[in-house]
Amino acid sequence: MKETIVSGIRASGRLHIGNYLGALKQFVDLQNAGDHNCYFFIADLHALTTPFEPKELSQNTLEVAADYLAAGIDPDKATFFLQSQVMEHVELGWIFNCLTSLGELQRMTQFKDKSKQHRETINGGLLTYPTLMAADILLYKPTAVPVGDDQTQHVELTRDLARKFNNRFGQTFPEPKTFLRKPLRIMSLSDPMKKMSKTGDDPSAPLGAGALMLDDPPEEILRKLKKALTATDAKEKSPGVANLFLLLDHFGTKDQIKQFSEQQKKNTIKYSELKETLAHQIADHFGKFRTKKTQLLNNPTQIKNTLVTGAAKAQKIASQTLSEVKQKIGLLRSP
Ligand code: TYM
């Protein structure tokens, strides 16, 4: 029997190259390899944990759906759905809230960081983000969760919860691992000490200055890369330069990687050339993606229908797991 994998992306803005390399590209590769049951979803409920506007939220959800589909997620090969359309996520999330200590939730790095960023608007959802995420995952009983390395702590909490649940109520969940080929974190172009993040996540950043969006037109990619922070004197790679080399590793040709690495060692590198090469390679890589995404967004009804069909498929499995959980923890069920 095939093993299951589950992952999600928040509906908090158009996707950037960090989301792509850390998550979406892996989803597409895993789906196409065909040896896993794949569940991929848009975490729109998680998008409510940081400030949002209703109109933007629905537009962002469509954008993220189009990003998934344009990147190659195929609803015939993977179960692709919207979190808020499978209510079992919230129900299991509540049960997990009641099985998790406040201390554990308060210790999560993401909670600490985000509650600093959104000081005036810290809400309960930000604290219980990881228990909803654990529910998202465990409902489908997966063995692995493909995510970027900033999410490993959340997957660890999920594993701990699964183990605790099994010990107390009997074997129910597998203990899923983070599925990471290589720990990967793409940094912001404008502030390379911070991870690249969606506009909605970092209100201090001027409109997406540090993030290359997957559908940015070529001139925008070049403009952002030209402004990317590098240090000029050191032979050592500064965090900004290391980040550009990381991008070159993924989007450059072998010759380009070799050429710029040698120049870097000899200290003859011109960062303007590196940036132009990168801009060209990235713009080229996402050429077909941009066309496909525009076509998809021209027909939002079709996107919505795809999501509804996916939710019905997901719900079949999710409802089985939830009834098993309810029975095991002693919630009374109808005769
Ligand atoms: P989100 O939307 O913040 O991120 C989606 C995915 O992109 C990865 N990622 C990055 N990878 C590399 N470099 C970056 N700069 C970068 N920024 C983001 C994230 O690691 C993630 O894999 N909590 C999840 C959403 C979620 C989820 C789940 C994931 C909700 N429920 C259940 C897996 C399973 C998140 O961080 O989304």
CA distance 62 to 60: 5
Q: pLDDT at position 115, please?
A: 85
The residues pairing with 187 across neighbouring beta strands, listed in sequence order, are 195
Which two tokens mark 207?
């409109």
Q: Give the ligand 1 atom nearest the CA of 151.
A: 20
CA distance 205 to 209: 7
Out of 25, 195, 224, 275, pick the active-site residue: 195
Q: Is 275 a catalytic residue?
A: no
Q: At what angle do helices 287-297 and 271-285 cross, to 10 degrees?
A: 50
Out of 198, 224, 275, 293, pick the active-site residue: 198
Superfamily (CATH) of domain 3-184+299-329:
HUPs (3.40.50.620)
Collapsing DSSP to helix, strand or coil, 79 comes out as strand
Q: Mean pLDDT for each 10-residue chunk of the chain (335 residues)?
A: 96 95 95 96 96 95 98 98 98 98 94 84 93 98 94 96 98 92 85 83 63 96 94 68 96 97 94 97 98 98 98 98 97 87
Q: pLDDT at position 205, please?
A: 57
Measured in degrees and rounded to the nearest 5, phi and psi for residue 168 equal: -85, -40
- Do 143 and 177 touch, CB atoms closer than 8 A? yes
Q: Which residues line ligand 1 (CB under 6 A)?
A: 6-10, 18-19, 21-23, 43, 46, 133, 136-137, 145, 147-148, 150-151, 154, 184-186, 195-197
Q: Where are the domains of the chain?
A: 3-184+299-329
CA distance 282 to 18: 13
